Amino acid sequence: MNEKFKIVYTDHGFESIEIERGIIESANGNLIIAQCKTAEDVIEATADADALLVQWAPVTADVIDALRQCRVIVRMGIGFDNVDIEAARQKEIPVCNVPDYCINEVADHTLAMALSLARQLHITDRRVRDGSWNIIPAGKMPAFHEMTFATVGFGRIARAVHQRARHFSFKLVAYDKFVSSESMLEQGVSFLNLDNLFEHGDIISLHCQLTDETAHLVNAARLQRMKPSSILINTARGLLVDTVALAKALKSGDIAAAGVDVFETEPLPEKHPIRSCGNALLTSHTAWYSESSVPELQKNAAEELVRGLQEKPLQNQVN
């Protein structure tokens, strides 16, 4: 009998991993759970692994350098900024993500935040609870058909967001340096460059990868370019936004509101200034979740890992 592949699950937060275990064991794999916290933990657990499943653990250049026989690394999610992609490329280890799950969930969460903030439900609810009854909202409230809904990025999730926003009669615009304006127009979305998007968007939703170029894409200077009536939504990656600058802009009235699901540091620090912003709608990195998204993620990740072990074409290699 052939020797089993050694698969290390560097870390996970799932209640059950029977989906992954079943797929991997059926492909002659032995799944080992490590629950690593640091790069040193990962090195100790994975040096002789044939493949890695990674949720949040840091897979640094040192980790990759220590891998002696790894055939594939699969990140359990859409983002992959906790894996050193360049180091893996130099060592000819393919890194894959799972970009085709939770698309509907994140798009739904994005629209839920945007619509709630645009209709000022959070403020009106608070006024009613405090004993104030007023049929006119606290702030200016344009009709949706008068508003421009903008996305930074035009990938799977952004396109799903636009599909939903179209039904509310928003004007749709987007920026993505990897997508042509012609491709956007085919889906009823107009291209704007990044500066114009932030100047003209009434609702601006972030849907791009975290890179050196996009880190703190939304900073103090860019927030000042936005309309005082504009709304920012981030359900993508926490480090896309300087949340301290965002809190300052919310408190000063530079922008009207923000919906934030992801943060630079998670859990959100207790004394972070955005916690005291009444015009911020905050959720705890839950946009990805539904009862069906978890098993979908686990299945897709495990199947991609098995393809890597069996030297079959990979579907979602990012390096």
Q: Does the active-site annotation cover 266?
A: yes
Say how many CA atoms lie within 13 Å of 289 toward its Cβ: 7
Q: Is the peptide bond before 267 cis (omega within 30 degrees of 0)?
A: yes
Cα dist. 187→61, 150, 165, 181 in Å?
Answer: 40, 14, 12, 10
- Cα–Cα dist 300/304, whole Å: 6
- Is 68 considered catalytic here? no
Query: What gap in Å lies between CA 40 and CA 36, rounded to an integer?
Result: 8
- Positive or negative torsion for Cα 271, 274, 278, 282: negative
Q: Catalytic pick from 12, 21, 71, 237?
A: 237
Taking a C-beta distance cutoff of 8 angstroms, is the pair 236, 222 a contact? no
Residue tagged active-site, from 266, 291, 304, 311: 266
Its sign, for the CA torsion 156, 102, 160, 241, is: negative
The DSSP H or E segment spanning 73 is: strand 72-75
* Annotated catalytic residue within 122, 166, 272, 285: 285
Query: Known catalytic residue: 216?
Result: no
Q: Which residues of 204-225 are buried (b: 16+ CB within 10 A; e: fewer)?
A: bbbbbbbeeebeebbeeebbee
DSSP state of 94: -
For the annotated catalytic residues, the residue numbers are 237, 266, 285
